[in-house]
């Protein structure tokens, strides 16, 4: 069957479509404010007249390219190109500041490639099994999982868990602005109609990282282009084998986390990369080095967010359930060509499914070729003074955010989050918990309220379901561990 899949796409037009999709995806993923979802929305009408194979080849290329492209701006500018590359900024940017941008890019690209490959293997061989497990997840399990993710805020807050908690609460407070998803009640809208739809993730992400960074540059009068980055010479793939020889466990764990989280609808790479980063830090023998520029954090983030690609396709193909916004648009592409995702897809359109699998592998290969080929050019961007580079980026951010929902209000949202990010940074509050609270806050609320509706207000069912009980117990352990760690840290400072 795999031979059948490759024989369907190893022709000039499908290969050209895959290459074009990967290239466009990398561009959209690497520019803050533009997203892979935006790219597929723009190019989807072009696929109407294509054959099913050509259309899916283009879309799979877009998916792979966009998932990986976010690492470029995350490492070079500390601005995540996509929500799934947030954690890449934690160690990627400090490494670039130390003059090791090529090393950071090289490690990130390889981790993305291998993480995607692992998830494709799971997709090929374990799709029906993993989909059966995922379909057993209800509101109770989703609440427990997202609540567990929230409790990990203290872990990524370094030596200031209290400030990290406050930052996370700020993110959660901002996320509940708008119409309640359960009862339609307006919250904190203050009579402003634009606030009824809430604050969008993309403008929040761009403002928090890009605008706040620009304000820092203005404050510091940074001229850029004169640091160690400008003189850094890339050799080979940018890194040595000795740099990553002990990262096997980190890579496998992160790829599995990314694949599993990708399977669960609504979570995706934005949650997977942060969970993987935190897991890598907790499992490390030197957790204090995380955030200072080490390959461990980059591998954890990039392996997981690309692994989430294959994971998100599992419920789409086997159950007809989209795992994220991108796969939701993919359903439209399937329907256009008369293909119905679901349990019968593997028997009714097996040739299409295996062609899609083959397209993913080829797209992954194009991704590593294009990103390695452009790596030396990417690093040269750091030679451009920031006071020239950032205004261009900000314009692209604002245009991209406006194009997502066609709302001028989103431009004001960018500025709002930029000011919030700048003020928090000046007060030494970490920014990662803000965006983590903003992403996970609505999920925790939604699944908690749905669970209480199902249980008629009873809390015991949360502990009666195995997956739910497991994550709740894990959450309690994390909270207790964080409290003990904080107390011991204060004792060491006093002694």
pLDDT at 16: 93
pLDDT at 413: 86
pLDDT at 272: 84
CA–CA dist 207, 415 (Å, integer)? 6
CA–CA dist 17, 20 (Å, integer)? 5
Which residues lie below 8 Å from residue 221, measured CB to CB, with a gap of 6+?
none
**Residue 187 is inside which H or E element, if any?**
strand 186-187
Per the structure, the count of domains in the chain is 1
CA–CA dist 89, 95 (Å, integer)? 9
User: What does pLDDT average to in each consecutive run of 10 residues of the chain (495 residues)?
Assistant: 77 91 86 72 76 88 87 84 82 86 88 88 72 72 83 66 83 88 81 82 78 74 49 62 83 89 71 85 85 89 87 77 70 77 73 85 91 77 69 75 76 87 86 81 87 88 88 85 73 67
pLDDT at 11: 87
CA–CA dist 315, 330 (Å, integer)? 12
pLDDT at 366: 93
Exposure on the CB side of residue 46, measured as CA atoms within 13 A = 14
CA–CA dist 311, 93 (Å, integer)? 27
CA–CA dist 400, 407 (Å, integer)? 11
178 DSSP β-pair partners? 187
The pTM (predicted TM-score) of the whole model is 0.74
Domain limits at 237?
2-494
pLDDT at 162: 76
187 DSSP β-pair partners? 178
pLDDT at 86: 83
pLDDT at 134: 61
DSSP 155: G
CA–CA dist 309, 212 (Å, integer)? 30
pLDDT at 226: 42
Closest C-alpha among 449, 403, 3 to residue 200:
403
pLDDT at 231: 47
């Amino acid at each position: 069957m795999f031979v059948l899949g490759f024989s369907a796409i190893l022709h000039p037009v499908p290969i050209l479509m895959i290459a074009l999709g990967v290239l466009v995806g990398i561009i959209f993923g690497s520019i803050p404010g533009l997203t892979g979802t935006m790219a597929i929305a723009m190019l989807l009408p072009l696929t109407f007249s294509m054959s099913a194979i050509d259309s899916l080849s283009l879309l799979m290329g877009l998916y792979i390219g966009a998932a990986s492209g976010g690492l470029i701006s995350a490492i070079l500018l500390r601005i995540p190109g996509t929500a799934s590359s947030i954690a890449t900024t934690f160690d990627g940017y400090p490494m670039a500041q130390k003059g090791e941008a090529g090393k950071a890019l090289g490690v990130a690209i390889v981790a993305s490639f291998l993480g995607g490959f692992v998830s494709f293997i799971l997709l090929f061989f374990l799709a029906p099994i993993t989909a059966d497990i995922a379909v057993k997840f209800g509101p109770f399990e989703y609440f427990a999982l997202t609540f567990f993710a929230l409790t990990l805020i203290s872990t990524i807050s370094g030596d200031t868990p209290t400030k990290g908690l406050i930052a996370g609460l700020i993110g959660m407070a901002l996320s509940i602005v708008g119409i309640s998803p359960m009862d339609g009640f307006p919250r904190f809208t203050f009579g402003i109609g634009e606030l009824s739809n809430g604050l969008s993730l993309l403008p929040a992400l761009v403002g928090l990282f890009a605008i706040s960074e620009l304000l820092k540059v203005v404050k510091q009068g940074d001229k850029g282009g004169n640091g160690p980055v400008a003189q850094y010479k890339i050799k080979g793939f940018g890194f040595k084998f000795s740099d990553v020889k002990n990262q096997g466990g980190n890579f496998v764990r992160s790829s599995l986390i990314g694949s599993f989280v990708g399977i669960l609808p609504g979570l995706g790479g934005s949650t997977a990369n942060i969970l993987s980063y935190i897991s890598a830090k907790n499992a490390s023998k030197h957790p204090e080095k995380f955030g200072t520029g080490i390959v461990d954090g980059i591998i954890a983030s990039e392996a997981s967010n690309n692994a989430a690609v294959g994971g998100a396709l599992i419920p789409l193909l086997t159950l007809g359930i989209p795992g994220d916004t991108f796969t939701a648009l993919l359903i439209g592409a399937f329907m256009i060509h008369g293909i119905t995702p679901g349990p019968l897809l593997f028997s009714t359109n097996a040739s299409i499914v295996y062609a899609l699998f083959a397209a993913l592998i080829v797209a992954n290969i194009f991704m590593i070729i294009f990103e390695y080929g452009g790596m030396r050019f990417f690093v040269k961007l750091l030679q451009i003074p920031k006071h020239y580079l950032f205004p261009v980026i900000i314009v692209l951010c604002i245009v991209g955010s406006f194009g997502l929902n066609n709302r001028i209000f989103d431009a004001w949202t960018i500025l709002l989050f930029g000011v919030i990010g700048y003020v928090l940074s000046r007060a030494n509050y970490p920014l990662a918990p803000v965006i983590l609270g903003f992403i996970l806050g609505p999920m925790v609320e939604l699944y908690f309220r749905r669970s209480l509706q199902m249980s008629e207000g009873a809390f015991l069912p949360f502990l009666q379901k195995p997956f739910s009980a497991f994550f709740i117990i894990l959450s309690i352990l994390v909270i207790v561990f964080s409290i003990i760690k904080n107390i011991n840290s204060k004792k060491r400072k006093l002694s």
